[in-house]
Amino acid sequence: MITLHSVAEKIKKISKYVAIIFTALIFTIWIIPIVKQAKENLFPAPPMPPTVSFGKLPPIIFPKINEKKTYTYNIETLSGKLPQLPITTKVHTIINPMQSLLLLKKSIRDANSVNFTSSPIYISELEYKWDNKNNPKQSLFLNILYRNFTITNNNSDILDPLEKTKPSRDESIKAVQLLVNSLNHNSTDIDYTKTNYTYYKIENNIPMEIKNTANMQLIKINLFQNKINNLPIYYENPPYSTMNFLIDKNNEILSGEFFHYSPKEENATYPIKLAELAFEELKKGKAYIPYYGKVNKILIRNIFLAYYLGKENQQYIQPIIVFEGDDNFFAYVSAVSDEWVQNQ
């Protein structure tokens, strides 16, 4: 006969087993990740081998430097040592626009929208020149395929050394955005929060960079692209970019250049040089060094991976090892291991 007491005893037993099972489940859920992490720490999985799907890469085309100097280097990083760089990183192909019979027609429309309304003058198969209707001495040179462009200005009257009116940063960047959006339709990867502003005054009819805005007469705006694979993009004249514009007192663009290339999703991984090897190449003069200071003894403060983009149209966006020092010293060493780079 089932009594109230026997039912209570059975419930106690079931509750006990349920509690044991629940505790075991919680312990298992908690302990498995710890054991897994410990295993990975003790016996880490070997890194995935590089895919090198593009085969041997062409060497990066850096600008030529006419005057080469000899430097001595000391490592003055926070750790006092060279860093351990990733074993591999990605190489991307560059987006190449499609050729079209309408390229020139579309370019004429876009040039006209920003006051360059003269008849286009043929420079080469892909480059044309327009003059500004409001300033005949200002010209636009536009690559109608890649939409890279340069604006030149031969009007020296605007460089008045006594001018006191100052351009506005906010209005200047609006003018630049309007120009870029009108002439280039593939610039969505520009991060306008990274915009760099430098200030100039006129001396002997030449813009001279100054450190503060007290005597400012002109602003130069440098634009920068988003990171690729969480690595920054560096250009041929650091800390500046290949997308820069000089702005006058009326917040209008005097001159500028816009050389911009974007990566495709298509990529392949390649082995990366050790920091020690890259440093040896730097010491042997096998680096691109766009440095204009007068210091010969360079204190290296930072060493890191980045991607390089210059004015040259290159097939791939490749990684570089950047050496950064005092006085705006920068040096670039191609990061991909030499066995995967074609001989120059």
> In whole numbers, what is the pLDDT of the chain averaged over residues?
88
pLDDT at 281: 97
Same domain, yes or no, for 323 and 238? no
Using the predicted structure, report yes or no on whether residue 241 has a pLDDT greater than 90: yes
Q: Which of 61-70, 228-237, 238-247 has the lowest mean pLDDT?
A: 61-70
Same domain, yes or no, for 246 and 310? no
Residue found under tokens 């003059």: 131
Distances (CA, A) of 162 to 45, 60, 208, 213, 254: 67, 45, 14, 15, 18
Which of 4-8, 160-164, 193-197 has the highest average model confidence (pLDDT)? 193-197
Kindly state whether residue 126 falls inside one of the protein's structural domains: yes
* Range of the structural domain that residue 34 is part of: 1-45
pLDDT at 44: 56
Kindly state whether residue 62 falls inside one of the protein's structural domains: no
Distance, C-alpha 141 to centroid of its chain: 24
Using the predicted structure, report yes or no on whether residue 271 has a pLDDT greater than 90: yes
Lookup: tokens for 260? 């911009």
pLDDT at 163: 65
Find the mean pLDDT for residues 103-107: 95
Find the mean pLDDT for residues 254-262: 95
Same domain, yes or no, for 211 and 244? yes
Same domain, yes or no, for 163 and 252? yes
- pTM value is 0.84
What confidence tier does 321 reach under pLDDT thresholds 50, 70, 90? very high
Domain count for the chain: 3
Same domain, yes or no, for 110 and 256? yes
Last residue of a domain, one of 260, 278, 297: 260
Using the predicted structure, report yes or no on whether residue 104 has a pLDDT greater than 70: yes
**Contacts for 289-292 with beta carbons within 8 Å, 24 or more apart?**
289/65, 289/68, 289/69, 289/71, 289/329, 289/330, 289/331, 289/332, 290/63, 290/65, 290/236, 290/237, 290/238, 290/330, 291/69, 291/327, 291/328, 291/329, 291/330, 291/331, 292/328
Find the mean pLDDT for residues 86-109: 93
Lookup: tokens for 158? 């605007």
pLDDT at 292: 85
Q: Give DSSP secondary structure letters for 103-167.
A: HHHHHHHHHHHTT--SPPEE-SSSEEEEE-SS-TTEEEEEETTT--EEEEE--GGG--TT-----
Cα–Cα dist 224/162, whole Å = 32
Same domain, yes or no, for 164 and 252? yes
Same domain, yes or no, for 174 and 310? no
What confidence tier does 342 reach under pLDDT thresholds 50, 70, 90? very high
Same domain, yes or no, for 115 and 253? yes
- Greater confidence (247 vs 159) lies with 247
Using the predicted structure, report yes or no on whether residue 41 has a pLDDT greater than 60: no
Share of the chain above pLDDT 70, in %: 84
What confidence tier does 343 reach under pLDDT thresholds 50, 70, 90? confident
Same domain, yes or no, for 198 and 276? no
pLDDT at 323: 98
Lookup: tokens for 111? 């040039």
pLDDT at 189: 94
Kindly state whether residue 60 falls inside one of the protein's structural domains: no
Cα–Cα dist 83/191, whole Å = 28
Same domain, yes or no, for 147 and 249? yes
pLDDT tens, position by position, 121-154:
999 999 999 999 888 889 999 999 999 999 999 8
Using the predicted structure, report yes or no on whether residue 245 has a pLDDT greater than 70: yes
Kindly state whether residue 206 falls inside one of the protein's structural domains: yes
Kindly state whether residue 59 falls inside one of the protein's structural domains: no
102, amino acid identity = L
Burial class of 59 by CB neighbour count within 10 A (0 to 12, 13 to 18, 19+) = middle
Residue found under tokens 């930072």: 302
Find the mean pLDDT for residues 249-263: 94
Q: Do 81 and 75 meet the contact criterion of CB atoms below 8 Å apart?
A: yes
Same domain, yes or no, for 237 and 290? no
Q: Which residues contact 83 (CB under 8 A, 6 or more apart)?
A: 77, 275, 303, 304
State the CATH number of the domain containing residue 304. 2.40.128
